[in-house]
Amino acid sequence: MTSLVLETLALACERDWRLLFEDLDLRLQGGDMLQVSGPNGSGKTSLLRLLAGLMRPTAGEIRLNGLPLARLRGELARNLLWIGHAAGIKGLLSAEENLAWLCALHKPVERQAIWQALEAVGLRGFEDVPCHTLSAGQQRRVALARLYLDPPPLWILDEPFTALDKQGVAQLEAHLAEHCRQGGLVVFTTHHTLSLKPAGYRDLDLGQRAA
């Protein structure tokens, strides 16, 4: 697995003319799991979007392997799997079609691999079902199936446990921890209390860093 180092230096974020956080220094590498917590409006999603290259910081810098992230968009895209708070799937497409479309944006995968990924998240038999007929939890599972499709090393996930049942939560916890044990890097937000944490786990409470 590709080794990555993701850093922030004196990072600050402003939204709607309000400073959410400032002077944020982080250093993350393979094997780490960072849970970003804090009350609503503290900047959790904003921080994830900054790390994913989807926003620009108000101040400070983000570096990937020692170089400014702004100069490494292509490398970041190759090494990043981003799943936002919404499932991000198209209701008129089937589960298989959604995954084929999402993967084709970066790295096309075989149909058999998609079926295996859907089976891994408990959706065997739903491959050809239009996603608008699925429950919220099943739609979340379709999105999370991307984590089983030869995923890149850096996972940035916004509220990945949303709408999952207990079995789905336990399975996702185990999969995230295993990714870290294999040298991957996970950054995520959740209001869920983890019962399984890898050795490289740590928590960042943005509520305690309010500017």
Predicted confidence at residue 107, as pLDDT, reads 78
d(CA 74, CA 153): 15
Confidence (pTM): 0.94
Mean pLDDT of the chain: 93
d(CA 95, CA 106): 18
What is the helix, strand, coil percentage profile of the chain, to 5? Answer: 35, 30, 35
Domain count, the chain: 1
d(CA 196, CA 183): 17
Predicted confidence at residue 16, as pLDDT, reads 86
Residue 85 has pLDDT above 90, yes or no: no
Predicted confidence at residue 211, as pLDDT, reads 54
Q: What percent of the chain has pLDDT over 90?
A: 80
Nearest Cα to Cα of residue 169 among 160, 180, 157, 179: 160
Query: Given pLDDT bands bounded at 50, 70 and 90, which one contains residue 129?
Result: very high
Predicted confidence at residue 105, as pLDDT, reads 74
Q: Which domain holds residue 118?
A: 5-209
Q: What percent of the chain has pLDDT over 70?
A: 98
d(CA 144, CA 107): 16
**Overall average pLDDT of the 103-116 stretch:** 88
Segment 35-60, tens digit of pLDDT? 999 998 899 999 999 999 999 999 99
Nearest Cα to Cα of residue 141 among 116, 125, 117, 112: 117
Instruction: For residue 83, give the CATH number of its domain.
Output: 3.40.50.300
